[in-house]
Amino acid sequence: MALVLLVVTPLVWSLPVALVAAELGGMLPVEGGYYRWVATSLGRFWGFQMGWWNWVSSFFDMALYPALFVKALSIFFPGMTRAENWTVSLAVILSSLIVNLCGVKPVGRSALLAFVVVYLPFALLAVLGLPKVTISNWLPLLAQGDQLTHQAIGLALCVTLWSYSGWECVSTYAAEVEQPARNIPLATLVAVPLVALLYLVPLGIALGASDWRTWKMHTISQIAGEVVAPWLGSCMSLAIMASSWSMYNSLLLSNSRLPLTMAEDGLLPNWIGRIDPARPAPARSLILCSAIYALCAVIGFRELVILDALLMSITALLLVTSLAVLRCRQPQMARPFRIPGEWLGLILAGGSLMACVIALFYYTIVGSQDTWQQVVIAGALLSTGPLAYIAFGRRTETRP
């Protein structure tokens, strides 16, 4: 079932979001990205909601990566206390803040280096584990006696949608990218199949080369150690740590531009948008975001991923709506990239995303009392958007 989800999710979720983001990114390659896309198409209020909801969603999303880093580190130090876990999370957050304060290029270079470090152990698992793969290990879809519960489906959807999300994030620092109208859509569309492949191949090898019915709380590192050798399991843990740090580092670059541009447009307090000309990065916004992420790092992984998935699914629908409105109201705008099929392509993309959101909320609501509580919390967080607009967004009538 995990393999099925990893194959289907990129088609019904990642590709539609990436296509919409690529067309909007080519039309409006501006700092603030998707926040200003929505503000341009739907107006100041909905632009604020897009920016605010994504920023709130990032509180939970960003706390996930230090948690993954700590989980991988625990392979080497299994007796870490809760306080030690949080200390390591703070180290991830602080080190990323330092790199981001140095500007966009150091973040990009570190991401490229991390990609090489992460890719090699997964490639070795694929090459060395392939001869041990038995196709019958991929069947049946469920272990004997197991049932596919609503709770399991809901949590699986949260994890896979989160794993395949973020295609629009690069747009928030478009003004700092060379030839953004060309490079951002190109990078987005190249990344979708690459990410899907890097998820699918290692897990497919791990499932095919071992008996997954015996898995309990196994990590991919432990499985790699059993399938190939313990040294590869250790290398895999190091790769996951590098991946988690790099993802956090790159997303800090993206997320910090949201409050910055919203403050510049008069939608958040002015002090957030003040930039020291001597610095290559928005220090105030970076420090504010890092402090909030450090506080959220104490929340459990399961709660974080459910809240993040619920919130970002709503913003994905707002993204599709803004593209449809821009097509109707401003058909003359230059579009370096267009979704194949024109309106039919956009309708299919929007319908696919809507189906994913409905399934996500349905299975999360009916899953269990715990997941139902996360839906209530997500609804409460969404309601803060209009309240925050009243508090901040009506101070000036300046438009983005």
Q: Spell out the per-residue pLDDT of the chain, length 400, in tens.
A: 788 888 899 899 999 998 998 888 888 888 788 899 999 999 999 999 999 999 999 999 999 999 999 989 988 998 889 899 999 999 999 999 999 998 888 998 888 888 888 889 988 998 999 998 888 788 777 666 667 777 888 888 888 998 888 888 877 777 777 787 778 778 888 888 888 888 888 888 888 888 777 777 678 888 888 888 999 989 999 999 999 999 999 999 888 888 988 998 888 888 888 887 777 788 899 999 999 999 998 888 888 888 899 999 999 999 999 999 999 998 888 888 889 998 999 999 999 999 999 999 988 888 776 778 888 889 999 999 999 999 886 655 444 4
Domain ranges of the chain: 2-393
CA 388, CA 393: separation in Å to the nearest integer?
Answer: 7
Q: Are 46 and 38 in contact (CB under 8 A)?
A: yes
Q: Are 66 and 248 in contact (CB under 8 A)?
A: yes
Residues in a beta bridge with 173: 31
Q: Are 331 and 398 in contact (CB under 8 A)?
A: no
Count of helix runs (H) and strand runs (E) in the chain: 15, 0
3-state secondary structure of 332: coil
Among 250, 205, 223, residue whose Cα is nearest residue 96: 250
Amino acid at 400: P
Q: CATH for 2-393?
A: 1.20.1740.10
Max distance between CA atoms of the chain, in angstroms, equals 65
The structure tokens listed for 138 are: 């991929």
Among 163, 170, 203, residue whose Cα is nearest residue 187: 170
Cα 310 to chain centroid, rounded: 12
Q: Quick one: angle between helices 283-296 and 230-264, nearest 10?
A: 130
The structure tokens listed for 391 are: 């508090």
